[in-house]
Amino acid sequence: MPILYIDAVPVRVDDSGEVSRVGLLLRIGPEGNVSRALVSGRVHHHERVRDALLRHLEKDLGPVALPRVPVSPQPFTVAEYFPTPGVTPYHDPRQHAVALAYIVPVAGDCRPRQDALDLVWFTPEEAASPMVQQEMPGGQGVLLKQALAHVGRLG
């Protein structure tokens, strides 16, 4: 049975509401490889999606990130991760997961926690570059490009 997840793209917005920066977590994988990642995690049993989104944003970005999550968040897309590569652009060898994907403006000071080493802010152009995209495993680079297109910042 698929497991429900959230994926969140933390962004900074300028005074006109345009996305000016995209935050990507820097992680070291089990094999010692460096990767970039979105905020991501499971929705617990009896947990509202909004609460899961806030919990994972705080867990990965710290308690003073000040995310601006709407009262009734709407995902910009749904990503279906399969354990078998190639079924969709999204791959998770551990499980079949369905992720609701959100773009979340953050206004506070972000200090990565848990297994993230750092949070690096990229311009939308830098985030969509091949160099950054190749550092994002499991199709998260595809998801990031969809987020940028959704806010009119791709190409």
The answer to whether residue 135 is domain-embedded is: yes
How far, in whole angstroms, is CA 127 from its chain's centroid?
12
- Measure the CA–CA gap between 155 and 149, rounded to whole angstroms: 8
The answer to whether residue 155 is domain-embedded is: no
Task: Quote the domain boundaries for residue 34.
Answer: 3-150
Question: Where residue 139 sits, what CATH number does that domain have?
Answer: 3.90.79.10
Instruction: For the chain, 155 residues long, give each residue's pLDDT as a single digit of tens.
Output: 899 999 999 999 999 999 999 999 998 877 788 899 999 999 999 999 999 999 999 999 999 999 999 888 999 999 999 999 999 999 999 999 999 999 999 999 999 877 788 999 999 999 999 999 999 999 999 999 999 999 999 86
Alpha helices for 5-139 (secondary structure H): 49-61, 124-127, 130-133
Give the 3-state secondary structure of residue 148.
Answer: helix
Expressed in angstroms, the distance from the first to the final Cα of the chain is 37
What domain count does the chain have?
1
